[in-house]
């Protein structure tokens, strides 16, 4: 298959996710600046943890999308369905992992995050299979 169209889609998604989640970093920084208790009070520690994790996983997964795009573009024409498995895994993980942390911090009950946090393990599984598909293929490269 020609991997260039898929690479282009992941480049666009990666840069958009990076923009979104680094903007989230600026929003977190702003809440620090204004010493917002809703984010910084000890009683809201879980919210802060969830949103810090959403920001960190979001920016880093955005970079993984860009790395995936560059990897498949570098390989050019390839055989097999592994680029589609990698792409599906990364697409799901890019939304479910940071999205789950983001949703988990919206409503915090005592130390428990909201049920949205359940998206996180699904995102982790998707990421595992996506990255495994790429890693196994890249290992076969000479």
If the CB atoms of residues 28 and 125 are measured against ligand HEM, the closer one turns out to be 28
The C-alpha atoms of residue 87 and residue 18 are separated, in whole angstroms, by 17
Tell me the closest approach of the beta carbon of residue 95 to ligand HEM, in angstroms: 18
Q: Where does residue 113 fall: left (phi above 0), alpha (psi -120 to 50 degrees), or beta otherwise? A: beta
Write out the binding residues for ligand HEM, residues 46-65 only, by CB under 6 A: 48, 52, 55-56, 59-60
Stretch that binds ligand HEM, among 26-34, 94-102, 113-121, 133-141 (CB under 6 A): 26-34
Residue nearest to ligand HEM (CB): 25
- The smaller minimum CB distance to ligand HEM, of residues 131 and 132, is found at 131
Of 23-31, 66-74, 118-126, 129-137, the segment contacting ligand HEM by CB under 6 A is 23-31
- The residues, ordered by sequence, that sit 6+ positions from 45 with a Cβ below 8 Å of its Cβ are 111
105: helix, coil or strand?
coil
# binding residues, ligand HEM (CB under 6 A):
12
Give helix 82-104 / helix 119-139 axis angle, nearest 10°.
Answer: 150
* Pure H helices in the chain: 4-33, 37-40, 45-75, 82-104, 119-139
Q: What are the residues binding ligand HEM (CB under 6 A)?
A: 22, 25-26, 28-29, 32, 48, 52, 55-56, 59-60
């Amino acid at each position: 298959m020609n991997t260039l169209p898929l690479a282009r889609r992941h480049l666009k998604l990666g840069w958009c996710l990076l923009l979104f989640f680094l903007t989230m970093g600026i929003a977190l920084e702003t809440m620090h600046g204004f010493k917002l208790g809703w984010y910084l009070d000890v009683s809201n520690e879980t919210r802060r943890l969830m949103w810090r994790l959403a920001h960190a996983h979001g920016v880093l997964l955005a970079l993984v999308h860009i790395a995936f795009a560059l990897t498949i573009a570098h390989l050019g024409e390839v055989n097999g369905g592994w680029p589609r498995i990698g792409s599906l895994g990364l697409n799901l993980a890019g939304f479910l992992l940071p999205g789950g942390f983001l949703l988990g911090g919206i409503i915090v009950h005592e130390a428990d995050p909201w049920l949205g946090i359940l998206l996180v393990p699904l995102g982790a599984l998707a990421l595992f299979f996506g990255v495994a598909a790429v890693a196994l293929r890249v290992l076969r490269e000479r």
